[in-house]
Structure 1
């Protein structure tokens, strides 16, 4: 269960990085519009959510190890 949660968090982080990269590329090419700026904000939120998922899964795994030790 925790490895699945960690994998989900990592996948979400990859998605956030790809979204931010695409938006940055669009902005660098001179397309300064609401869409890439919005995508950067979405990527920021995804990255924060990914970090929380990974942290929670890590804490769960630590608790599980402490319980079985």
Structure 2
């Protein structure tokens, strides 16, 4: 489904992807790996955010993109 969204929107490395309520960050990572654009995921819940941080740390070295950022903010 995400690949269809990428194709339909003609997303390129010049775009910015923002996922509100990003959960554990799988979609953010998939877009980063597929497109190479700047990608941001925002998650309010503590437990999914911790998993997202772990997923980011594990996947970031594998991604060819330099535009994947992790920022943690407490609301």
Length-normalised TM-score, structure 2: 0.32
Length-normalised TM-score, structure 1: 0.35
Choose between structure 1 and 2: higher helix proportion. 1
Larger Rg: 1
